[in-house]
Amino acid sequence: MTDKLRQQVTQEAARLVNEGCDFTTARFRAARLIYREWVPEEELPSVQDIQQALAPSCDPRADRFTLITETVRLLGTLRGHRAIGVSADGLEHTLQLFSAIYAEHPYDEELLTAALVLHSGLVIDRSDPLPAVIRVLGKSLTPRTIWFVETFPLAQAHVAGTIGQRARRRVESHPDFEQVLRLAELDRKVGLAPLQATHDLVDLEEAVGILQALDAEDEDDAW
């Protein structure tokens, strides 16, 4: 694939993502539309290439909060998916969840980060979203935040009462069990009904600002 064709595929993939496709589907569909024949996967634009086309300021080498912001922002294109319940789109659901977690755990930056990025994998690879979060944002996340994301399905099963005994013992023995369980409980709650006015709902910039402020406090404490 020539550089010109690759750029055309990247731009078409970005357009498809804006229309609601996940990144993985958009890569292959754009290649078929532009190239009109089979293209080896290794020649397709990467997720990072498409992110750059969607938001030129979102360079994968840039500040981690910029990468998180622009990836989560794309959840605004996700509509009608079971993971977001009654919310109008994935971004609304995510900000409802973040606001609910913030009301209970306002100083836990890693838990708050998990709440913000948790569903972003749905715009990367809808067939396997949680590993997609780690693949794209992993370098911007702490090991504890990654644990929250990876353990979320077990916490969901715990809430639903469908978790196996061995898995139950394993997750309940972890020191952050109560936090990941609450993440799953509140995710289910906001999926069933919007939060009431008792919570102060934040927008995406405010949510990231909260994370940045907590991160700055941690750096000050380190000194």
Q: What is the pLDDT of residue 44?
A: 83
Sign of the torsion formed by the C-alpha atoms of 50, 55, 57 and 62: negative
Higher pLDDT, 174 or 5: 174
Cβ(71)–Cβ(129) below 8 Å: no
Rounded to whole angstroms, how far apart are CA atoms 118 and 129?
A: 9
25-63 residue pLDDT tens = 888 888 878 877 777 777 788 877 887 787 654 554 458
Angle at 95 between CA 124 and CA 188, to 5 degrees: 85
pTM for the full predicted model: 0.79
Cα distance from N-terminal residue to C-terminal residue, the chain: 51
Domain-by-domain residue ranges, the chain? 1-54, 59-222
Protein fold of 59-222: Hypothetical protein af1432 (1.10.3210)
Q: What is the pLDDT of residue 61?
A: 46
Which has the higher per-residue pLDDT, 169 or 21?
169
CA-closest candidate to residue 146, choices 137, 156, 154: 137
